[in-house]
Amino acid sequence: MPKIDKMLAILWMLRSGEKITAKQISEKLEMNIRSVYRYIDTLSTSGVPIISEPGYNGGYTLLNNFIEAPLYFDFEEQTSLFHAAVFAEEAGYYGGEALNRAISKLSKYSNQEQETKINQHLNSLEVISRLSSLSRESLLKELEQALTDGYSVTILYHKSGEKQLNYRLVDPYRIIYWNNKWYVVGFCHFRNEIRSFRVDRIENLMRTENNFNQPENFSARDFFMKNLLPTIEDKEGIMSLVINGEKSVLDDICQHWFLEHYLQERTSNQAVFFLEKDLIHTYIPYLLLPYNKSIKVIEPISLKKRLIEVLSELIRFHQV
């Protein structure tokens, strides 16, 4: 009998509610009594509240409330769940209240030794959120429920750069968390195409009675990333961006969420990217300027000139 089956068998014997000795377990399961002691220790370490009574009338029993617990987790599993709850809280996860209830149940069914160890590991981890945005928990819950049930929603949306709010009828396909923000990806009936909407720009949401079916094999991740990082199709409009610098600085640049997509070559002191000309002269100068003298643009020469122009504009602005 495999080890896990033996431990489960012991657990079921303990769940009978009657006191049972190691010898009785040994005889019932036809195993060495030393193995019984090892399995009992393993179950206890895993959070099973086993009460051991020594002496002539001693034996093993379970705490009554353990019968209410649907699952039990070992030390590493519990620690991982607690850590996940910390990350979820900082991300603004909309199921935080339910997650906290689940974590409370884990604490309730942990033995004292395990709880002490878990607290030690929890104190070793702290997650600091980069942004403290307004809570959107209730709105995210409504979105997920509509998505799960397959109902369209009407949203009052604030598009970037526009003061006027617009109503949109949307079939929500997926909820995405990316770069410290929540998005919903779905079919926009106003645009008649799949779009993504930032949840923090949704002022109001109302579920409709319209049902929808999601397209087969649709990948919200692929759609979202393709819109963020469009594939370069016009080969004639591509330019090489060559940057020299210290290894640690180049590592940081090459891991940037945008530039890493276009990295072509990399050595210890040089990185080469293929980018569209317009991007190199509009977005890239502002991305590279914070690195100051730790990097040097080798090509294109036009980018070096553009960097000088941007710096000159900043100087003139701050001189006024």
Three-state secondary structure call for residue 58 = coil
Indicate if the pLDDT at residue 63 is higher than 90. Answer: no
Q: Supply the range of the domain harboring residue 155.
A: 137-218
At 173-205, the pLDDT tens digits run: 999 988 788 899 999 999 999 999 999 899 999
Residues 248 and 269 reside in one and the same domain: yes
Residues 253 and 309 reside in one and the same domain: yes
Asked if residues 143 and 175 have their Cβ atoms less than 8 Å apart, the reply is yes
Domain with 174 in it: what CATH number? Answer: 2.30.30
- Domain end residue (candidates: 56, 88, 122): 122
At 246-261, the pLDDT tens digits run: 999 999 999 998 898 8
Indicate if the pLDDT at residue 66 is higher than 70. Answer: no
Indicate if the pLDDT at residue 265 is higher than 70. Answer: yes
- Domain end residue (candidates: 48, 68, 88): 68
Asked if residues 278 and 303 have their Cβ atoms less than 8 Å apart, the reply is no
Q: How many CB atoms lie within 10 A of CB 70?
A: 6
Residues 57 and 79 reside in one and the same domain: no
Residues of the chain with pLDDT > 70: what percent? Answer: 90
The residue-averaged pLDDT of 197-215 equals 92
CA distance 171 to 185: 8
CA distance 20 to 131: 55
CB neighbours of 79 closer than 8 A, spacing ≥ 6?
A: 117, 118, 121, 122
Residues 43 and 87 reside in one and the same domain: no
The phi, psi pair for 34, rounded to 5°, reads -65, -35
Residues 62 and 81 reside in one and the same domain: no
Per-residue pLDDT, 204:
92
Indicate if the pLDDT at residue 3 is higher than 90. Answer: no
Residues 248 and 281 reside in one and the same domain: yes
32 located within any domain: yes
Residues 115 and 180 reside in one and the same domain: no
At 282-318, the pLDDT tens digits run: 999 999 999 999 999 999 999 999 999 999 999 999 9
Q: Give Rg (Cα) of the chain.
A: 29
Quote the Cα angle for 182-186-187, to 5°: 150
Three-state secondary structure call for residue 244 = strand
Q: At what angle do helices 96-108 and 75-91 cross, to 10 degrees?
A: 160
Residues of the chain with pLDDT > 90: what percent? Answer: 38
Asked if residues 155 and 188 have their Cβ atoms less than 8 Å apart, the reply is no
CA distance 310 to 315: 9
CB neighbours of 168 closer than 8 A, spacing ≥ 6?
A: 154, 155, 157, 188, 189, 190, 197
Query: How many domains does the structure of the chain reveal?
Result: 4
pTM tops 0.85, yes or no: no
